[in-house]
Amino acid sequence: MDTLWQHEAFIGGAWRGAGDLRRFPVLDPATGETIAEVADCGEAEAEAAIAEAAIAYESWRGTTALERSRVLRRWHDLMMERQEELARLLTSEQGKPLAEARGEVAYAASFLSWFAEEARRAYGQVVPAHRADAEVVVLKEPVGVVAAVTPWNFPLAMITRKVGPALAAGCTIVVKPAEDTPLSALALARLGEAAGVPAGVVSIVTTRDAPSVVGALMRSPTVRKLSFTGSTATGKLLMRQSAETVKRLSLELGGNAPLIVFADADLDVAVRGTLASKFRNTGQTCVCANRILVEDAIYDRYAEALAEAVRRLKVAPGTVEGAAQGPLINRAGFAKVERHVADARAKGGRILAGGQPDAQGGLFFQPTVIADATPEMALADEETFGPVAALFRFQTEDEAIRLANATETGLSAYFFTRDLARAWRVARRLEAGMVGINEGVISTEVAPFGGVKQSGLGREGAAQGLEEYLETKYVLFGGLAA
Ligand SMILES: NC(=O)C1=CN([C@@H]2O[C@H](COP(=O)(O)OP(=O)(O)OC[C@H]3O[C@@H](n4cnc5c(N)ncnc54)[C@H](OP(=O)(O)O)[C@@H]3O)[C@@H](O)[C@H]2O)C=CC1
Ligand SMILES: O=C(O)CCCC(=O)O
């Protein structure tokens, strides 16, 4: 197969854009240089993709689960064969360290293999009927044409987590990737094409005008479902827009994850877990710990151990050997981190590590630890989405739970303890869709990923992830009396 670097949009099985569309630049966040110019689609291209998806749906929904499973499996295998190339492409537009990019390729591919397996388990039901002369049967059917709107922080995995179950269920899908990271999406489409995904089953509509393209998807009565990952503000906007055509919704929105360190925790495990949770992807994930709550009795020891570990993290472009912290994605992301640190400092936060833009300039910010954080600081309410660990102090378990739940979001939560009874108690009381105990990274294709409160609706991955793309149809067979 040829190169994975594609610059045209992928609509109805054709690469569209050469000559007849405007283009927008894709930047390497480590250097600020333009690395590609990609087709800038508008409403017309979105509508063409919907029309192609509707045509493809008629035949794709009629394929057997085994046929769909085989296509997804081949797609997974091709991703893993091209893992290194995909990882380098991902790092060049997103900035994460190469080791993490390799990990993301494998993570993204795992959703294709998982749903290749789940495709064959979309069982219906036969229900004991309410009448002797009838049978009651419950069928599972694909939802129809789906729209996916995805973010820049996991440019491959956030797409396969939607495309995998959509295709497994028999749906077709139109994807609008983030403006900052369209190249990974197009590379994925190229591999899908090679794996035998039929024309129109998956389209990728690249654009720098999200409101136009997504607006067309939201208005269309043909599009029966939206799956979105991104900020809570945009999620709410799309939720409102979906009301007009009453679309099914899966929303994976922002978090403000608490990470609680109890005094009985194993200190090394807690520090390692915090590093993994907080600094993965340079702090740019919706499940990154955002508020670190530490019991008074262990606070100073933990703070010093964490600060020491953080000072050792190597800040460098993702392609540099040993890089642990890459650049932030863009100017807006960088400005938010600067604002949170300045606000915390002004309100009495003590900087134990980092605290400023990195000396190499550009979008690099020093990994930072701030002690004496308080609920009045901006970083207590808003997700920082950057490499800033803010340490709050608590005295009792009840206080820790109250602080942890004092947020409108409820995606993930973490805590560290060696007390078994406390582990169950706290896990039950945390208002979150996902809880990690003595562990900072909980993402896997086998478990249901999603949040409560304003963190969203629905679940991705796991068996639940397939349900999101299936409708339930009840059929009554009457008149069976002899
Ligand atoms: N839950 C999560 O995983 C994520 C949370 N976030 C949070 O959101 C903050 C901002 O990040 P950002 O990238 O701007 O997140 P957004 O929610 O703005 O972006 C997510 C997706 O929605 C699209 N989008 C943005 N605005 C609109 C709109 N008006 N109508 C339709 N689609 C739209 C984006 O397109 P485009 O890229 O072209 O703008 C992108 O594809 C981060 O700092 C972080 O706090 C961000 C990313 C992921
Ligand atoms: O940040 C996100 O948008 C998704 C989290 C990535 C993951 O852990 O699956």
User: Which ligand neighbours the alpha carbon of 447 most closely?
Assistant: 2
366 and 351 belong to one structural domain = yes
Residue 347 has pLDDT above 90, yes or no: yes
Q: How far is the CA of 228 from the centre of ligand 1 (A)?
A: 9
**Does residue 470 form part of some domain?**
yes
125 and 92 belong to one structural domain = yes
Percentage of the chain lying above the pLDDT 70 cut: 99
Give the residue, by CA position, lying nearest to ligand 1 atom 6: 231
281 and 167 belong to one structural domain = no
Give the residue, by CA position, lying nearest to ligand 1 atom 43: 385
323 and 346 belong to one structural domain = yes
**Does residue 479 form part of some domain?**
no
**Does residue 2 form part of some domain?**
no
The count of other CB atoms within 10 Å of the CB of residue 125 is: 11
Q: How far is the CA of 404 from the centre of ligand 2 (A)?
A: 20
User: Which ligand neighbours the alpha carbon of 214 most closely?
Assistant: 1
Query: Does residue 455's CB lie within 6 angstroms of at least one atom of ligand 1?
Result: no
| Domain coverage including residue 348 | 257-444
267 and 350 belong to one structural domain = yes
Q: What angle do CA 419, 422, 424 make, to 5 degrees?
A: 115
Residue 26 has pLDDT above 90, yes or no: yes
Give the residue, by CA position, lying nearest to ligand 1 atom 38: 179
275 and 235 belong to one structural domain = no
Which active-site residues does the annotation give? 252
366 and 413 belong to one structural domain = yes
Q: How far is the CA of 298 from the centre of ligand 2 (A)?
A: 30
Instruction: Give the span between the Cα atoms of 347 and 373, in whole angstroms.
Output: 8
Ligand 2 atom closest to Cα of 157? Answer: 9
CA distances from 385 to 126, 289, 452 (A): 47, 10, 19
Range 385-398 average pLDDT: 98
Q: How far is the CA of 82 from the centre of ligand 2 (A)?
A: 22
- Residue 395: CATH number of its domain: 3.40.309.10
Is the reported ipTM for this assembly greater than 0.90?
yes
The helix-helix angle for 65-81 and 83-94 (nearest 10°) equals 70
Sequence-distant (≥ 6) Cβ neighbours of residue 295 within 8 angstroms: 261, 262, 263, 393, 394, 395, 400
Query: Does residue 98's CB lie within 6 angstroms of at least one atom of ligand 2?
Result: no
Task: For residue 6, give the nearest of 35, 42, 46, 29 by alpha carbon.
Answer: 35
430 and 305 belong to one structural domain = yes
**Does residue 413 form part of some domain?**
yes
Residue from 282, 444, 449 whose mutation best tests the ligand 2 pocket (most atoms within 8 A of CB)? 449
Range 106-118 average pLDDT: 98
Encode pLDDT of 75-105 as tens digits. Answer: 999 999 999 999 999 999 999 999 999 999 9
Query: Does residue 221's CB lie within 6 angstroms of at least one atom of ligand 1?
Result: no
Q: What's the pTM?
A: 0.97
Encode pLDDT of 199-247 as tens digits. Answer: 999 999 999 999 999 999 999 999 999 999 999 999 999 999 999 999 9
The encoded tokens of residue 408 equal 């409108």
Work out the mean pLDDT of the chain and round it to a whole number.
97
Residue 19 has pLDDT above 80, yes or no: no
User: Which ligand neighbours the alpha carbon of 441 most closely?
Assistant: 2
Residue 116 has pLDDT above 70, yes or no: yes
Query: Does residue 287's CB lie within 6 angstroms of at least one atom of ligand 1?
Result: no
Residue 354 has pLDDT above 70, yes or no: yes
Give the residue, by CA position, lying nearest to ligand 2 atom 8: 443
Instruction: Give the span between the Cα atoms of 73 and 170, in whole angstroms.
Output: 15
Instruction: Give the span between the Cα atoms of 447 and 327, in whole angstroms.
Output: 30
Q: How far is the CA of 227 from the centre of ligand 1 (A)?
A: 13
229 and 110 belong to one structural domain = yes
Query: Does residue 443's CB lie within 6 angstroms of at least one atom of ligand 2?
Result: yes
**HEC secondary structure over the chain:** CCCCCCCCEEECCEEECCCCCCEEEEECCCCCCEEEEEECCCHHHHHHHHHHHHHHHHHHCCCCHHHHHHHHHHHHHHHHHCHHHHHHHHHHHHCCCHHHHHHHHHHHHHHHHHHHHHHHHCCCEEECCCCCCCEEEEEEEECCEEEEECCCCCCCHHHHHHHHHHHHHCCEEEEECCCCCHHHHHHHHHHHHHHCCCCCCEEECCCCCHHHHHHHHHHCCCEEEEEEECCHHHHHHHHHHHHHHCCEEEEECCCCEEEEECCCCCHHHHHHHHHHHHHHHHHCCCCCEEEEEEEHHHHHHHHHHHHHHHHCCCECCCCCCCCCECCCCCHHHHHHHHHHHHHHHHCCCEEEECCCECCCCCCCECCEEEECCCCCCHHHHCCCCCCEEEEEEECCHHHHHHHHHCCCEECEEEEECCCHHHHHHHHHHCCCCEEEECCCCCCCCCCCECCEECCEECCECHHHHHHCCEEEEEEEECCCCC
Q: How far is the CA of 282 from the centre of ligand 1 (A)?
A: 17
Q: How far is the CA of 290 from the centre of ligand 2 (A)?
A: 14
- Residue 120: CATH number of its domain: 3.40.605.10
Q: How far is the CA of 260 from the centre of ligand 2 (A)?
A: 20
Residue 359 has pLDDT above 70, yes or no: yes
Q: Residue 20's pLDDT is what?
A: 76
Confidence of residue 249 (pLDDT cuts 50, 70, 90): very high
Query: Does residue 285's CB lie within 6 angstroms of at least one atom of ligand 2?
Result: yes
Give the residue, by CA position, lying nearest to ligand 1 atom 7: 231
Q: Residue 295's pLDDT is what?
A: 98
Residue 63 has pLDDT above 80, yes or no: yes
Query: Does residue 157's CB lie within 6 angstroms of at least one atom of ligand 1?
Result: no
**Does residue 450 form part of some domain?**
no
**Does residue 230 form part of some domain?**
yes
Query: Does residue 229's CB lie within 6 angstroms of at least one atom of ligand 1?
Result: yes
User: Which ligand neighbours the alpha carbon of 231 most closely?
Assistant: 1
CB 381 within 8 A of CB 407: yes
Q: Rounded to 5 degrees, what are φ and ψ at 159?
A: -85, -45
**Does residue 327 form part of some domain?**
yes
Residue 381 has pLDDT above 70, yes or no: yes
Q: Residue 1's pLDDT is what?
A: 62
Percentage of the chain lying above the pLDDT 90 cut: 98
Query: Does residue 454's CB lie within 6 angstroms of at least one atom of ligand 1?
Result: no
Confidence of residue 21 (pLDDT cuts 50, 70, 90): confident
CB 283 within 8 A of CB 386: yes
Confidence of residue 17 (pLDDT cuts 50, 70, 90): confident
Give the residue, by CA position, lying nearest to ligand 1 atom 28: 211
241 and 266 belong to one structural domain = no
CB 87 within 8 A of CB 188: no
Range 337-354 average pLDDT: 98
Confidence of residue 482 (pLDDT cuts 50, 70, 90): confident
Range 8-20 average pLDDT: 89
Query: Does residue 252's CB lie within 6 angstroms of at least one atom of ligand 1?
Result: yes
Q: Residue 18's pLDDT is what?
A: 64
Give the residue, by CA position, lying nearest to ligand 2 atom 6: 285
Instruction: Give the span between the Cα atoms of 150 and 451, in whole angstroms.
Output: 17
Instruction: Give the span between the Cα atoms of 9 and 27, in whole angstroms.
Output: 18
Question: In the beta sheet, which residues pair with residue 410?
Answer: 452
Encode pLDDT of 360-371 as tens digits. Answer: 999 999 999 999
Strand order in the sheet with 456-457: 14-16, 9-11, 202-204, 172-176, 145-149, 223-229, 248-252, 456-457
Sequence-distant (≥ 6) Cβ neighbours of residue 25 within 8 angstroms: 34, 36, 37, 38
The tally of CA atoms less than 13 A away on the side-chain side of residue 187 is 28
Ligand 2 atom closest to Cα of 286? Answer: 1
Instruction: Give the span between the Cα atoms of 353 and 370, in whole angstroms.
Output: 7
The encoded tokens of residue 125 equal 């039901």
Query: Does residue 108's CB lie within 6 angstroms of at least one atom of ligand 2?
Result: no
Confidence of residue 170 (pLDDT cuts 50, 70, 90): very high
Ligand 2 atom closest to Cα of 443? Answer: 8
122 and 184 belong to one structural domain = yes
**Does residue 95 form part of some domain?**
yes
231 and 101 belong to one structural domain = yes
Give the residue, by CA position, lying nearest to ligand 1 atom 40: 178
Domain count, the chain: 2
Query: Does residue 150's CB lie within 6 angstroms of at least one atom of ligand 1?
Result: yes
Q: Taking every pair of C-alpha atoms in the chain, what is the biggest distance, in angstroms?
A: 86
